[in-house]
Amino acid sequence: MNVFNPIVHIEAATIILILALLSLKLKLLDRGGILASIPIGYVIYVFGGVDYFILLLVFYLTSGAATKLRVRRIGKDVFDKDSIRGWRNVVANGAAAAIISLLNIAGFNRGRITAAYLGAVGTAFADTLATEIGLLYPGEPRLITNMKRVLKGTPGAVSPYGYLGGTGALLILILSSMAVRAMDLRLAVATMVSGILGMTVDSVLGATIQSKYRCVICGKLTESRVHCGKAAEIVDGISIIDTHMVNLISTILGALIAYLIASA
């Protein structure tokens, strides 16, 4: 395998270093996010291959552009949504994909592993664009569990823009997979179905068990444990289940769904 080729390791290190510097310059990631992205990107490049890495890059750059667009249009102070991603966000969205890439050295069926990889990346991609594009929705979104109107950015909130954004992300991923010859009809179906289900599960978990806080200083609702320099009080959900844990759970489920579809 390429994992034993030193040239592949040199390529991976060089490309990832260049991307890390560009990400820092363009303010796509903070320093913690850069440090977390290096091992994840390296593992995917070396153990998954260039095609896996390109698909990850498509997700990363498209999501970064969507975030920049959202911040330019409505600002960054929307339920404290990230404008520059940190290490928790990177790990939550990339850890499952990196672990799946490692399975390529264990003799598993490449097609099924690729399906799981696309399920994980597709879920993260769909959820991210659903959030970013959904925040541009001119009306009030609705909570997925009871369809009541809620504030923009509320965990579990859904809108037509959000689902269009998520579906668009999956179409971009499928077309990109075709371009690198990592796609067939079964994988396309697995990617689309797992991505939509994965981002829906993310919304359900966000509405039900994800922790939500209220700032004790300004009274603002937030996803952050600390706000205005003080520990915020939890008002709903389970304290250990934050937005990043929800993302991680969803990407794992997305991978499992895609793997099962590809195995049927």
pLDDT in tens, 143-195: 999 999 998 889 999 999 999 999 999 999 999 999 999 899 999 999 999 99
- Please, what is the Cα angle at 63 between 154 and 83, to 5 degrees? 55
224 vs 113, residue with greater confidence: 113
187 vs 77, residue with greater confidence: 187
pLDDT band at 75 (very low <50, low <70, confident <90, very high): confident
Per-residue confidence (pLDDT) for residue 80, from 0 to 100: 61
pLDDT in tens, 84-107: 899 999 999 999 999 999 999 887
Task: Look up the pTM and report it.
Answer: 0.94
| Residues 208, 130: Cα–Cα separation, whole Å | 18
Q: Are residues 73 and 136 in contact, defined by beta-carbon separation less than 8 angstroms? A: yes
pLDDT over threshold 90, residue 228:
no
